Amino acid sequence: MNIYAVIMAGGIGSRFWPRSKKRKPKQLLRIFGENTMIQDTVNRLVGLVPRKNIIIITNEVQKERLMEQLPKIAEENILAEPFGKNTAAAIGLASVLINKMDEDAVILTFPADHLIADVEEFQNTLKNAAKFAYQSKGLGTIGITPTHPETGYGYIQFDENSIDEEIYKVITFAEKPNIETAKRFLKTGDFLWNSGMFIWHISAILREIEKHLPDLYKGIKTIEKSIGTEKFPSVLKKVYGQLKSISIDYGVMEKSKDVFLIKGDFGWNDVGSWEAVYQLSEKDTNENAFIGDVYSMESQDNYVFSPQKFTAVIGASNMIIINTKDALLVCNRKNSQDVKSVVEYLKMNNNEKLL
Amino acid sequence: MNIYAVIMAGGIGSRFWPRSKKRKPKQLLRIFGENTMIQDTVNRLVGLVPRKNIIIITNEVQKERLMEQLPKIAEENILAEPFGKNTAAAIGLASVLINKMDEDAVILTFPADHLIADVEEFQNTLKNAAKFAYQSKGLGTIGITPTHPETGYGYIQFDENSIDEEIYKVITFAEKPNIETAKRFLKTGDFLWNSGMFIWHISAILREIEKHLPDLYKGIKTIEKSIGTEKFPSVLKKVYGQLKSISIDYGVMEKSKDVFLIKGDFGWNDVGSWEAVYQLSEKDTNENAFIGDVYSMESQDNYVFSPQKFTAVIGASNMIIINTKDALLVCNRKNSQDVKSVVEYLKMNNNEKLL
């Protein structure tokens, strides 16, 4: 069984403004510790997926930085989409690339910017899932046991009767719920968080794309024919622009009749906002997390990132303060999700320098 | 009657960190509008004091910037103390300088960094006070009618029976009170705020210094003898270093038996903290005062100064945010007086760059 990994690294991460920018989004940042998030994502595959089998789908503006940050990944394994077309197109493209090399491949698909605390458990889970995908020629997803009624994630309902060791059948995918629904989901016990991580046999994903997104399938098959020829870049550009922009969840997984689920219990966090970063950071005795030279007085429960400039915080609590070379964010922790509104505002004003 | 003005411009203004620095304290900053505070202080004397009669006492590190900001004031009128020695020494030095030119002078003494809203009323008050000081060869002070029980100012008790048109006799000077005492002062109605602005005949201030600070008097008389000679700089340096460091309030005014008072009703504000700056600033409909390019959302009652860097403020209220080239302050408005603790901290750490 040959395992491949597809890492989707095209996101902008507007909730991490002003640290994340179009050219340097969340996955390219050192949010925790020494490594960037994409480096952590690649490193945790060591021993599970051979390096030459790791494919990264990104865009033109991020490709160079990705190559810098991942010097051991071959350039041909880092593929820039000519246009951002959501995850179905990105996964379709990766699928035909891999199909050309190995028609019996098992593919693991990951976002580039999630945090996983227990790498050993992560690898064990993925090995088990890959084995089942290979044997069943199937399509699978990883469900995370919810710890609270989160409204920022999709949920997956599963049948509690396992079909194999720790493998279950998906009943339905549910979109991001409101708080009442989220609480109900938690109570029932058969709803898990949709982590956006998938496992499939190459034949299964191509079959399901053909079935549920036939135009997109035609497009990626046209691209497949040009792989390895000099026409590839021009064909990719021409065809990719016409592909439907839809997520793999909505376009394929939710419509598919036969999806398996494996529970992920490895300390997963999608690090979706500065609030999540605060929660995951080491704190001092005043529950402050400071990065940089920070003086504080009568201040609790703050996250301050200001590595280049001395900062004094006085009488401030529950604040997120991000001070970069060209912009400053001062945000209440409970408004963490509203940071993307700044990015909308900057777009509206064509403020390219800050985007 | 020849009127002179002495402007004391040696302060550091540590409550205005990080905008104010040793080399560029409050009086050298544009806090409101086009002009710096020292420029406003000088401009409001036009028509009251001839330019050649305006003496500015400062220190070596500020002298050059003062000359830049006040190109119409002659260099010899801007005198740098060799050491900071509090206001009694500064006023003593200015007094002997003026005495050498005009033994019948009336001197108005002002801090360099106060705000006055009604310049016409200010000039009328000072003219009246100068006239009385000249006629009586006396010593006077300006009392500001208090609007609230402020604990940050000294108070002056006066006798309500006027001794001349709008001129009263001082009963006593009171140090900064606690809040209970301040409330009592307000109730009695015969306590006014000590503005730190004085009016005196040259003979009166020299006489009172001689009486209450005889050593300091001897020192300034020694300096006086060297004025106009090439020995002046060396004598100044030698003698000034040995002068007692004491305020004119504590060293002379409080001890003097015969001080007159004139009420000042011209919109005085000593702009003692960022909170005062917020209060005095123009606000938008959310009661925010923003200087620079600021995006805000769910934020009220904030003062933001960030002229060089785009700032986003989300879900923040009652905050003071000062973002300069080399430091950032995020401070609750109610902690406005604690800003000086940052300066103490930086001093303790010998962080000269930020001081």
Q: What does the pLDDT read at residue A274?
A: 96
Q: What is residue A195's three-state secondary structure?
A: strand
DSSP calls for B34-68: SS-HHHHHHHTTTTTS-GGGEEEEEEHHHHHHHHH
pLDDT string in tens for chain B (355-residue length): 999 999 999 887 789 999 998 888 999 999 998 999 999 999 999 999 999 999 999 999 999 999 999 999 999 999 999 999 999 999 999 999 999 999 999 999 999 999 999 999 999 999 999 999 999 999 999 999 999 999 889 999 999 999 998 999 999 999 999 999 999 999 999 999 999 999 999 999 999 999 999 999 999 999 999 999 999 999 999 999 999 999 999 999 999 999 999 999 999 999 989 999 999 999 999 999 999 999 999 999 999 999 999 999 999 999 999 999 999 999 999 999 999 999 999 999 999 899 9
- Alpha carbon distance A64, A59 (integer Å): 10
Question: Which is nearest to B154 in space by CA: B144, B163, B164?
Answer: B144
User: H-type helices in B70-144, by residue range?
Assistant: 86-101, 119-136
Question: Which is nearest to A276 in space by CA: A138, A143, A129, A114?
Answer: A114
Task: For chain A, give every domain's residue range.
Answer: 3-269, 274-354
Residue A162 C-alpha from the chain's centroid: 27
Give residues with Cβ within 8 angstroms of A212, minimum separation 6.
Answer: A251, A252, A255, A256
pLDDT at A13 over 80: no
- Is residue B228 within 8 Å of B100, Cβ to Cβ? yes
- Alpha carbon distance A22, A354 (integer Å): 9
- Alpha carbon distance A98, A105 (integer Å): 7
Average pLDDT in the A271-298 region? 96
Closest approach of chain A CAs to the CA of B38, in angstroms?
Answer: 27
Phi/psi for A31 (5° steps) reads: -85, -40
| Residue A334: pLDDT band with limits 50, 70, 90 | very high
A322 touches chain B (CB under 8 A): no
Q: What does the pLDDT read at residue B152?
A: 87
Q: What does the pLDDT read at residue A152?
A: 87
Question: Which is nearest to A313 in space by CA: A287, A336, A335?
Answer: A287
Question: Which is nearest to A173 in space by CA: A141, A207, A216?
Answer: A141
DSSP B287: S
Q: What does the pLDDT read at residue B33?
A: 85
Residue of B nearest to A315 (CA): B332
Give residues with Cβ within 8 angstroms of B161, minimum separation 6.
Answer: B168, B169
Identify the H or E element spanning B236.
helix B232-240
- Alpha carbon distance B248, A204 (integer Å): 89
Bond preceding residue A25 cis, omega within 30 of 0: no
- Residues of B within 8 A of A335 (CB-CB) are 297-298, 314-315
pLDDT at A77 over 80: yes
Return the bridge partners of A7, or none: A56, A110
Other C-beta atoms within 10 Å of B77: how many? Answer: 17
Identify the H or E element spanning B319.
strand B319-323
- C-alpha to C-alpha distances, B100 to A22, B94, B203, B226, B233, nearest whole angstrom: 69, 10, 12, 11, 16
- Alpha carbon distance A69, B123 (integer Å): 68
Other C-beta atoms within 10 Å of B10: how many? Answer: 21
If you search the block for the tokens 């004025």, which residue do you land on? B227
- Residues of A within 8 A of B314 (CB-CB) are 329-332, 335, 338-339, 341-342
Share of chain A above pLDDT 70, in %: 100
Q: What does the pLDDT read at residue A215?
A: 97
- Residues of A within 8 A of B327 (CB-CB) are 309-312
- Is residue B322 within 8 Å of B338, Cβ to Cβ? no
Superfamily of domain B3-269: Spore Coat Polysaccharide Biosynthesis Protein SpsA; Chain A (3.90.550.10)
Identify the H or E element spanning A296.
strand A289-297
- Alpha carbon distance A97, A112 (integer Å): 19
CA dihedral over B261, B266, B269, B270, signed as positive or negative: negative
Question: Which is nearest to A217 in space by CA: A209, A207, A229?
Answer: A209
| Residue A11: pLDDT band with limits 50, 70, 90 | confident
Tokens found for residue B251: 């060293």
Residue of A nearest to B335 (CA): A315
Identify the H or E element spanning B116.
strand B115-116
Q: Is B258 left (phi over 0), alpha (psi -120 to 50) or beta?
A: beta
- Say yes or no for a CB contact (<8 Å) between A330 and B341: no
- Residues of A within 8 A of B330 (CB-CB) are 311-314, 316, 319, 321, 330
Please report, as a single letter, which amino acid is at residue A230.
E
- Say yes or no for a CB contact (<8 Å) between B314 and A342: yes
B291 touches chain A (CB under 8 A): no
Closest approach of chain B CAs to the CA of A292, in angstroms?
Answer: 12
- Is residue A304 within 8 Å of A294, Cβ to Cβ? yes
A172 touches chain B (CB under 8 A): no
- Say yes or no for a CB contact (<8 Å) between B332 and A316: yes
Helix axis angle for A214-226 and A232-240, nearest 10°, is: 170
Closest approach of chain A CAs to the CA of B342, in angstroms?
Answer: 7
What ipTM is given for this predicted complex? 0.88
- C-alpha to C-alpha distances, B131 to A199, B140, B250, nearest whole angstrom: 93, 11, 25
Closest approach of chain B CAs to the CA of A179, in angstroms?
Answer: 22
**Could you read off the pLDDT of A102-156 as tens digits, one per residue?**
999 999 999 999 999 999 999 999 999 999 999 999 999 999 999 999 988 999 9
A355 touches chain B (CB under 8 A): no
Task: Give A102's Cβ-side CA count (13 Å radius).
Answer: 16
Q: What does the pLDDT read at residue A140?
A: 97
pTM value is 0.89
Residue of A nearest to B332 (CA): A315
- Alpha carbon distance B75, B73 (integer Å): 6
Tokens found for residue A169: 């059948």
- Is residue A295 within 8 Å of B345, Cβ to Cβ? yes
Return the bridge partners of A106, or none: A3, A201
CA dihedral over B80, B82, B83, B88, signed as positive or negative: negative
- Alpha carbon distance A76, A71 (integer Å): 12
**Could you read off the pLDDT of A168-215 as tens digits, one per residue?**
999 999 999 999 999 999 999 999 999 999 999 999 999 999 999 999
Burial A311-321 (b: 16+ CB within 10 A, else e): bbbbbbbbbbb
pLDDT at A21 over 90: no
Residue A274 C-alpha from the chain's centroid: 16
Return the bridge partners of A198, or none: A109, A141
Other C-beta atoms within 10 Å of A180: how many? Answer: 10
Among B322, B323, B328, B354, the strongest candidate for a mutation testing the A interface, having the largest count of A CBs within 10 A, is B328
Partner residue facing B309 (CB), from A319, A326, A341: A326
- To the nearest 10°, report the CA torsion of A267, A268, A270, A276: -20
Q: What is residue B10's three-state secondary structure?
A: coil
**Could you read off the pLDDT of A211-249 as tens digits, one per residue?**
999 999 999 999 999 999 999 999 999 999 999 999 999
